[in-house]
Amino acid sequence: MPQTDAPCGPVVLDPAQRAFLLGLGPAEIDCAIAVMLKILDGKCKMPPAEARIMQAVYDIVRDRPARHLGPKAHRMIAIARSEGTTRFRAEVYEARVLAETCISRPVMKAFKRRLRRVGVLPEQAASGAGEAG
């Protein structure tokens, strides 16, 4: 699992995890973009540590080709991150909803399961609950 220096410190992914992420396909890049938009929108249900990991995942894969999402979503993410989501809440919301309509639930769940399987995200407790985020 990635290491974090402090509750709000940087996430450190090891070289094998980074290599894995750089090998993700376009549909999985769409998932990473959608999760980032969901984090910025404040609708992500992941624990804060996992949301920080997913922000690091996005930063690693944002230059990789996506299937449906791309420059427009990346611009919205960059603006929201640099200028704050409060000012752009409606735009972030619209971008997130659009992103979620492009990705089926099974694709998103498979993406998160794969991240857990390779140790990018921590394993979930066997509570029967679905994937957060």
pLDDT tens per residue, range 43-101: 888 999 999 999 999 999 999 999 999 899 999 999 988 887 677 788 888 989 999 99
Residue 16 parent element (H or E): helix 15-22
Measured CA to CA, the distance from residue 1 to residue 62 in angstroms comes to: 21
Both structure tokens of 16? 């094998």
Both structure tokens of 116? 């857990």
Amino acid at 21: L
Q: Where are the domains of the chain?
A: 15-117
Grade residue 10 by pLDDT with cuts at 50, 70 and 90.
confident
For residue 7, pLDDT beyond 60: no
The predicted model scores a pTM of: 0.85
Number of CB atoms found within 10 A of residue 64's CB: 16
Grade residue 127 by pLDDT with cuts at 50, 70 and 90.
very low
User: Considering the chain, what percentage of its residues have pLDDT values greater than 90?
Assistant: 59
Q: In this structure, are residues 29 and 17 in contact, taking their beta carbons and an 8 Å threshold?
A: no
For residue 16, pLDDT beyond 70: yes
- Taking alpha carbons only, the member of 63, 38, 46 closest to residue 11 is 46
Residue 102 parent element (H or E): helix 89-102
Measured CA to CA, the distance from residue 132 to residue 2 in angstroms comes to: 18
Grade residue 124 by pLDDT with cuts at 50, 70 and 90.
confident
pLDDT value, residue 133: 66
